[in-house]
A and B are shown apart, each in its own frame.
Chain A
Amino acid sequence: MASLFPRRLLGRRNRATQTERVRERKHEGFLRYANFRWAKISGGLCLLVITSYALIDVTPRPNGGSWYGYTLGTIGALLILWLTALGYRKRKMTRDAWSLKAWTSAHVYLGLSLVVIGTWHTGFQLGWNVHTLAWALMMLVILSGLYGVIVYATLPAALSNNRDEMTQMQMLEAIRAFDRQLHAAAQPLSPEDTAPVLASLDEDPFAGGIRARLTGRYPKDATAAALRALSLAHGGNADARQKVIGLLSQKEAALARLRAHLRIRAMLEIWLYVHVPLTFALIAALSAHIISVFFYW
């Protein structure tokens, strides 16, 4: 074995693994990865671009067609393609030095540096054309990504608090249990009283569009309506009704927990619906931008 793996190499490998273990033990996230290594690199890159832009005298006026503009444009375009490759990389599980965490950290910080690289590439000449479209799409993608980073950093705590040590399926199972109990408890009720209960049972806990998911507001909620209707009802089997009302309010609480969970998850996911499709729109606009420049050279 010793001949196959020289000691030196093994030692290095062990050290790298050791560092990785420490990182995992400390729950070091992608933002703090390697003591903000990529934040420093990206910040340095931005600083380099801004200072060199100020120092280099591009004639007649700064624009994307100067040598400096070409340089920034090339760096920016390659960076965009590399950043897009995260979608590919994250599907390939590895544990070596280029861990997904490192990759994500670089993705976030280098992506942010693209604000400077891309904007300074324009030379601050913007207009209603494909070139500015590419820039605007890039900015939208970066802003959505920035939102994603922020919610990833802040919302999981809220998600965990709301969950109260239940799994998603346990939340759903609670509702199912209340539904079964409701169904049994409502048997003695009159047909007028059973109708709202039935509506509550027929309601899909996952119903509601993107709006309801993001706001957490369900104005046509059948369980709340049933609760209101039964509280106002008279006659019939009052004991059975009271039991049903109790179950309905319990079901409503369980629903509220599920919906809060769905809302936080929606806020955690919604940015990807901007980030990913617009990335591809950006790559299309970028291709059109580059081809157009050389087409009408």
Chain B
Amino acid sequence: MSFILRRISTTKTGKQIVRDQPLPGASITLGRDGGNTIHVADLAVNPQHATISSADGRHVRVQASEGLGFDLNGRTLDIADIDSAAGAELRFGGHRLTIAREGENIILLVERIDELSQSSKDVDEARAFSLAAVMPGRRMGAWAFALVVLFAFLVGPIWAWHSYRSVDVRPQGYHADKAWLSGPLSSAHASLKNDCQACHVDAFVAVTDKACVGCHTGEHKAMSASHADASTAMLLAARHPPGVGEKVLAGFAKAFNKPQGRCVECHTEHEGAGPMPLTPQKFCADCHDGMASRLKAAGFKVDVADAGDFGTAHPEFRPLVRAAPGAKPARAMPGTGPLVDYDGLKFPHDVHLAANGGVARMAASFRGQYDFGKKLECQNCHRPDADGVRIKPVVMERDCAMCHSLAFETVGGVTRTLRHGEPDQVVADLYAYYRSTPPSRPLQLGGMERRRPGQYAEGQLYNIYFREVAVRPNRAADAVRAVFSKGGACYDCHTIFAPASGNNWRVMAVNQTPRYLEKGWFDHDAHKATKCADCHTAAPGSKAASDLLVPGLRQCRDCHVGEGGARLVKVETATESPCAMCHEYHSDGGKPWMPARQRKVNSAAITHKPLAAIYDVSLITGTEGRGLYDVTWRTPSLHGARRGG
């Protein structure tokens, strides 16, 4: 028996050369050290690693020394007994020792099976040197990302839409299609933010008017009267020829089934939280800018002037006026001379607003009694409505009677006045007064003094008095005539018709127009920080009641410019004014809707204007001039019934 060490080397051509070397002795050593019988040049092997011995020439004992063992069948051992006939593979570091039996000999085959070092291993250059070795593949990343996005933002939302198709109101909570929300909803619709389907009912169908009027019944249901009356052909003819942009948009709209003329075209949503934005000027100006010529060209009757922008292209106002005494109210046609409005009254504003003169002195004399200043101011006679939008018509008893008294008698401290507005009653009252009251008795007729004859003679006191008593009832006719004639109480303010066949004294009817601008909406409340005369510039100089004192476009344009700031005149503090600031689309005559934040008027700049010359009340009354709304309500000398008593 002997150990034979077998070495196998491979030639360049791949041919294997086997060399056997008999090893002397029954015990051989294995290790890295050169002195070992089997020298293994492997750093993972100890210098004296193991002893291999055989007592019977068949069984081999392998015993490790120095603590480092060897591997046999996957287990690390320090000692192993091996039947060489069965054979075994042992592992020392990077080398394999195969024990086998050939005839009487025990063959020991030693081969290097591991690479010398990690770096010696074969590498795929393209992969090892690039990031691909340490990163997950780009392709995988692309798929993963794309699928995640598609599921979360396309499949999810469609699924959410699908699962609530037949549900009226969605439950609270998160719905995947919220990820599609293109912008916050306006405050009015904020509660719908979880329920896209409340408006977006069907897939790929643009929001229909049906979805709007489902909730918005009433005035929102219809177009304005003037637009509803217009035929479709007329509406189409009114539209301005589309530009490049609109052609693009129309192309998109047509290609993707988005009908035009729906509510949402003007009432745009998803434009940000807060109130829905005011309908922009463009939606009106698209048709109204240059509309007259287009309508005329299409053969329609034109009765609306062109309007494109308040600052630059807006027709002059056409207030409702009575062009002649007693005429029917009609919208004025500006450009044909000064505007007049006959309301039946005689009232010179200049006299009443003058800083000095009889009226101012009279007002000053009433300062303790009424809230007059040193002169009359607009608000002493003109009162705002309860909501502050308009100015109430003047009521004689309340607004004039402080000075223009109709008192004619005092009975027991109570003043009797003529009845205003009832000329027949006035006549009757005066007749009754003269009939029932004697002329004041002269002092000489009183007392117990003896009366002497001769005192009844013509021209003497008794004669005069008793004659007066006899004719007094007849004096009533003179008094009535005096009241209705020049210098009389009625004649001062009213146009009087003298009695004619069958008619008594008549007073021309007074018609105070409650609202001059019917197509637009003017809100005095929004302008309360402004002085009256800033807009009603003609008032302090007006000599006749027939002067129309409603401000024109020019006064408005002192502050109001177009939506985009367009203007024709120099404006210090501009208020951008889209059409919808004054014009209401759905209900003519109603108050135009405007978001609360836009309703705030930048009037501070207007009120801080340098004091403007002669119209300025505060020059006289002091800087704390009363505004229209600061008036303390005085007790008016109202008719009992009107006072509610």
B-binding residues in A (CB < 8 A): 56-57, 59-61, 63-68, 70-71, 125, 127, 129-131, 133, 137, 168-169, 172, 175-176, 179-180, 182-184, 186-187, 189-191, 194, 197-198, 201-206, 208-210, 213, 261-262, 265-266, 269-270, 272-273, 276-281, 283-285, 287-288, 291-297
Distance of B460 from chain A, by nearest CB (Å): 94
A273 touches B131 (CB 8 A): yes
- The reply to whether A266 and B249 form a contact with Cβ atoms under 8 Å apart is no
For residue B523, CB closer than 8 A to chain A, the reply is no
B125 and A169 form a contact (CB under 8 A): yes
Distance of A283 Cα from B184 Cα, bound (Å):
25
B207 within 8 A of A: yes
Determine the chain B residues whose CB is within 8 A of the CB of A276 once the complex forms: 138, 141-142
Q: B156-188: which residues lie under 8 A (CB-CB) from chain A? A: 157-158, 161, 177-184
Q: Which of A66, A198, A280 is the one whose CB lies under 8 Å from B249?
A: A66
Give the chain A neighbours of B196 by CB distance below 8 A: 296
Cβ B146 vs Cβ A283 within 8 A:
yes
Given contacts A129-B181, A206-B128, contact A71 B248 (CB under 8 A): yes
Q: B68: which of A172, A191, A294, A296 is its contact (CB, 8 Å)?
A: A191
Task: List the B side residues contacting A184 at CB < 8 Å.
Answer: 41
Partner of B141, one of A180, A189, A266, A277: A277
Interchain CB contact under 8 A, B119 and A179? yes
Other-chain contact of B119, A127, A172, A273, A288 (Cβ < 8 Å):
A172
B633 within 8 A of A: no
Contact A292 B117 (CB under 8 A): no
Question: Binary interface profile of B, 277-291, with partner A (CB < 8 Å = 1, else 0)?
Answer: 101111100000000
Partner of B154, one of A175, A182, A191, A291: A291
Q: CA separation between A64 and B271, bound complex, in Å?
A: 11
A213 and B149 in contact, given A60-B277, A175-B119, A292-B154 (Cβ under 8 angstroms): no
| Set of chain A residues within 8 Å of B181, measured between Cβ atoms | 127, 129
Q: How far apart are the CA atoms of A210 and B161 in the complex, in Å?
A: 42
Partner of A284 from B125, B146, B161, B184 at Cβ < 8 Å? B146
Task: Closest B residue to A127 by CB, please name it.
Answer: B183
Question: Is there contact, CB below 8 Å, between A280 and B146?
Answer: yes
CB-CB under 8 A for A183 and B206, given A67-B249, A262-B129, A297-B200: no
Bound complex: CA A133 to CA B200 (Å): 22
Whether the Cβ atoms of A269 and B179 lie closer than 8 Å is: no
Is B228 on the interface with A (CB-CB < 8 A)?
A: no
Contact B144 A297 (CB under 8 A): no
Q: Say whether A183 contacts B117, CB under 8 Å.
A: yes
Contact B43 A284 (CB under 8 A): no
Task: Tell me the smallest distance from the CB of A55 to a CB of chain B, in Å.
Answer: 11
The answer to whether B133 touches A269 (Cβ under 8 A) is no
Sample 11 A-B pairs with CB under 8 A, ordered by A number. A67-B246, A130-B153, A172-B123, A180-B120, A191-B46, A202-B118, A206-B123, A206-B133, A281-B146, A295-B157, A295-B158
Tell me the complex Cα distance, A291–B204, Å: 9
By the criterion CB–CB under 8 Å, are B245 and A129 in contact? no
> Do the beta carbons of A203 and B118 come within 8 Å of each other?
yes
How far, in angstroms, from A280 to B141 measured CA to CA in the complex?
9
The answer to whether A273 and B141 have CB atoms under 8 Å apart is yes
> Are A176 and B120 within 8 A (Cβ)?
yes
Report whether A168 and B206 are in contact in the complex, using a CB–CB cutoff of 8 Å.
no
**Residue from the list A131, A172, A191, A296 in contact with B200, Cβ < 8 A:** A296
In the bound complex, how far is the Cα of B138 from the Cα of A277, in angstroms?
6
Closest residue of chain A to B200, judged by CB?
Answer: A296
Q: Across the interface, name the chain B residue whose C-beta is closest to A61.
A: B271
Q: Contacts A56-B245, A61-B271, A294-B256 hold; do A284 and B119 have CB atoms under 8 A apart?
A: no
Chain B residues with Cβ below 8 Å from A64 are 182
A213-B206 CB under 8 A given contacts A59-B282, A261-B129: no
Determine whether B569 belongs to the interface, using a CB cutoff of 8 Å to chain A.
Answer: no
| Structural contact, A183 and B204, CB atoms closer than 8 A | no
A7 to B344, CA, bound (A): 99
Select which of A63, A190, A213, A284 is within 8 A of B145 by beta carbon: A284
What are the interface flags for B242-273 relative to A under an 8 Å C-beta threshold, 1 for contact and 0 otherwise? 00011011001000111000000000100110
Known contacts A198-B44, A209-B134, A210-B131; is-contact A297 B116 (Cβ 8 Å): no
Task: Please give, as numbers and ranges, the residues of chain B lying within 8 Å of A262 by CB-CB distance.
Answer: 129
Contact A288 B153 (CB under 8 A): yes
Q: Are A168 and B118 in contact (CB under 8 A)?
A: no
Please tell me which one of the listed residues B117, B138, B177, B179 contacts residue A273 in the complex, with CB atoms under 8 A apart: B138
Q: Contact between B145 and A277 (Cβ–Cβ < 8 Å)?
A: yes
Report whether A187 and B180 are in contact in the complex, using a CB–CB cutoff of 8 Å.
Answer: no
Q: Which of B125, B131, B207 contacts A297 (CB 8 A)?
A: B207
Expressed in whole angstroms, the Cα–Cα distance for A184 and B32 within the complex equals 11
The yes or no answer to B66 lying at the interface (CB within 8 A) is yes
**Is there an interface contact between B134 and A210, defined as CB atoms closer than 8 Å?**
yes
Q: For residue B206, which residues in chain A have a CB less than 8 angstroms away from its CB?
A: 297
Residue of A nearest to B245 (CB): A67
Which residues on the B side are within 8 Å of A133 (C-beta)? 149, 153, 179
Residue B150 interfacial (CB < 8 Å): yes
Q: Is B509 an interface residue (CB 8 A)?
A: no
15 further interface pairs, Cβ-Cβ under 8 Å (given A176-B117, A180-B117, A297-B257): A64-B182, A71-B248, A130-B157, A133-B149, A184-B41, A189-B43, A201-B116, A201-B118, A201-B119, A206-B123, A269-B130, A270-B131, A280-B143, A288-B154, A292-B177
**Contact indicator A168/B117 (Cβ below 8 Å):** no
Which chain A positions have C-beta within 8 A of B116? 179-180, 183, 201
